[in-house]
Amino acid sequence: MSVIGCGYLGAVHAAAMASIGHDVVGIDVDERKVAALADGVAPFFEPQLGELLQEGLASGRLRFSTDMSDAAGSDIHFLAVGTPQIVGGHAADLRFVDAAMSALLAHLRPGDVVAGKSTVPVGTAERLASQMAGSGATLVWNPEFLREGWAVHDTLTPDRLVVGVPSGPDGERAADLLREAYRPALEAGTPFLITDLATAELVKGAANAFLATKISFINAMAEIAEAAGADVTLLADAIGHDGRIGRRYLGSGIGFGGGCLPKDIRAFAARAEELGRGEAVGFLREVDSINLRRRDRAVRLVVDALGGLVFGRRIAVLGAAFKPFSDDIRDSPALDVAVRLRGLGADVVVTDPAALANAEAAHPQLGYAAERDDALRDADAVVIVTEWDLYRRDLTPEHAGSLVAGRIVIDGRNCLDAAAWRAAGWKYHGMGRR
């Protein structure tokens, strides 16, 4: 099989497929990425990926190439290229999908299956299928739900597999081929859902819209809790015990970021507008603005905690990645907060165990420290914006207190034990916590 596009999605998919016994070629136009992958080096931080790559390469079942003609002869071609937000708008930019498809067309044989994995606006699969007409190959849509930081786990043991197929015998045959490709997961009991093409595309958009809504819901409750003198984390625990609601994705704080949720909800709403149903997902605009308001709120908390002026004050910013177990800084709320504090004249020192190099390259105006304790040293305030264990679990208020100049902590992820920090003499400020 071939996997076209070797970013977060494709590189993990290629390595995972090789690990369950398939012969896989991963193809990408980025020569540096392909060279790293071919050396068994993950081009980004992702737990377990390095080992999986090395095993696959050593077994001879996994290789990487920049040449699309290496896809020829594969029975399944997974399309895993990126679909970023277009510049100057909210819709998805499909140029990489279109380029991959036009390069692949010449290499398709009758009976081949092209399985789209990228997150695309509904209707894209039908359009690609019509471009393939005459090739004898079948297009199916097989959305991917992996989370960064858990990508290998999520790919090998997904919650469910969804495959959208065209109606008729070609679709049935393609579904069988995908069933065979994912056999170990199916044998382990993973639900395998066959749908039409449009539904499979929508499942991905709907799942991300729901998750984003859940996070913004609890952050909206944080705004109310703050005004009412209540504690949103206790509220989340209490409503989360209701099995219909569930505690997961009720983590309040500075909100969601990353390469998926923010752009995917915008693209979903943009596509709904095109379909004449914009009002059906009008709430997603609210979800987006509640989310962005969290960053303003975090900055305001820091400013207020420092007496109204941050100019010249030293602020330790713990975290740069959009979430722990990732070096990804795309639309990172953590860095957004750091950049805004710097914009107000603060002497910001950012630290992160994985994302520092990416952050430095993108925001050279910020101060950086490779070690957590160097960031904390002489700080007037500490802001936790990515809940790495190194900050959430391993940093005691006593140790932090021995390094800083001022015992003020702003917990942008509501991840600290407020009582313990207060008991150690800190002024603790959570987001939506008393």
6 is catalytic: no
Cβ atoms of 115 and 141 closer than 8 Å = yes
Start-end of H helices in 21-72: 31-38, 49-59
d(CA 278, CA 284): 10
As a whole number of angstroms, the longest Cα–Cα distance in the chain is: 73
Is residue 215 a contact residue for ligand UDX (CB under 6 A)?
Answer: yes
Select the residue interacting with ligand UDX from 255, 319, 412, 432 (CB under 6 A): 255
Contacting residue, 44, 64, 256, 368, with ligand UDX by CB under 6 A:
256
Residues ≥6 apart with Cβ < 8 Å to 221:
232, 235, 236, 252, 432
Cross-sheet strand order for the sheet of 427-429 = 367-368, 347-351, 314-318, 381-384, 408-411, 427-429
Q: Does position 322 bind ligand UDX by CB under 6 A?
A: yes
Q: Give the CA distances from residue 237 to residues 99, 214, 227, 411, 434, in Å, rounded to whole numbers and listed in that order.
A: 47, 14, 19, 18, 15
Three-class DSSP category at 27: strand
Q: Which of 211, 339, 348, 376 binds ligand UDX (CB under 6 A)?
A: 211
Q: Cβ 262 to ligand UDX, closest distance in Å?
A: 9
Stretch that binds ligand UDX, among 96-104, 207-215, 268-276, 364-372 (CB under 6 A): 207-215
At 2, list the tokens: 């071939």
Nearer to ligand UDX, 51 or 331 (CB): 331
Ligand-binding annotation for 204, yes or no, is: yes
Question: Is position 258 an interface residue for ligand UDX (rule: CB under 6 A)?
Answer: yes
249 in a known ligand binding site: yes
Binding residue for ligand UDX (CB under 6 A) from 28, 46, 112, 148?
148
Other Cβ atoms closer than 10 A to 154: 17
Residue 40 lies near ligand UDX (rule: CB under 6 A): no
Contact segment (CB under 6 A) with ligand UDX among 190-198, 247-255, 308-316, 362-370 equals: 247-255
With binding defined as CB under 6 A, does residue 222 bind ligand UDX? Answer: no
Decide: is 197 part of the binding site for ligand UDX (CB under 6 A). no
> What is the distance of C-alpha 220 from the center of its chain?
21
**Which residue in 24, 71, 260, 320 is the catalytic one?**
260
- Sites of contact with ligand UDX (CB under 6 A): 145-148, 208, 211, 215, 249-251, 253, 255-258, 260-261, 322-323
Which residues are known catalytic residues? 260
